[in-house]
Amino acid sequence: MNRAKARDVPILHTARLRMRPLSLDDTPQIFAIHSDLRTLEYWSHDPFVDLEQAEDLIRANMEWVETGQAVYWAVEDRESGRLIGTATLFKFDDQNRHAEVGYILDRAYWGQGLMTEVLGAMIDHAFNTLELHRLEADTDPRNAPSNALLEKFGFRREGFFRERWWVHGQWLDSLMFGLLRSEYKAPDLPSTPA
């Protein structure tokens, strides 16, 4: 399989969401998400202060997609069409068939189980379409909801790195998770409408 070609960004549907390629038209929504300090509490950069930063982020991610370094989705609410987050597979290692997962959700949509749908769709794509062997995730140990979400899908805590990131004016620890394709068991998810 030509893995770089297979990393084109497909449109995925879940029960309540549509995952599609990101575009520059998404700049205002990306800015809204990445300028909110509460949303970024466990993220790896400080809040954006202008639209240009959001546009730069989108351009960088579009370039990574174009060069096969990432699969980057805009996550939309199916009912309203509003962009409410992003999800990505990145840090591909073709020889060893693994990648890292990342995701962010507008905090107005927290607590509704939406990231369960997103992560389920990403994992399915990673293991069944891209034929990866392993997925990894790097989280803030204090981010209990994200850590619980990963564990719901069978990710295991594999490492703890002290003061790994300098963010928001402080050193932050990092918790590393891993999931093997052979160990993956999808939790019950809402069915996707036709």
For the segment(s) 3-183, the CATH number from 3.40.630.30, 3.50.50.60, 3.40.50.300, 3.10.310.30 is 3.40.630.30
Q: Check residue 108 and give its pLDDT.
A: 94
CB-based burial label for 182 (10 Å; 0-12, 13-18, 19+): exposed
Q: Check residue 7 and give its pLDDT.
A: 66
**Tens-place pLDDT, residues 158-170:** 999 998 888 878 8
**Tens-place pLDDT, residues 74-121:** 999 999 999 999 999 999 999 999 999 999 999 999 999 999 999 999
Query: What is the pTM assigned to this prediction?
Result: 0.88
**Tens-place pLDDT, residues 16-61:** 999 999 999 999 999 999 999 999 888 888 899 999 999 999 999 9
Mean per-residue pLDDT, 176-192: 81
Cβ contact 10:125 at 8 Å: yes
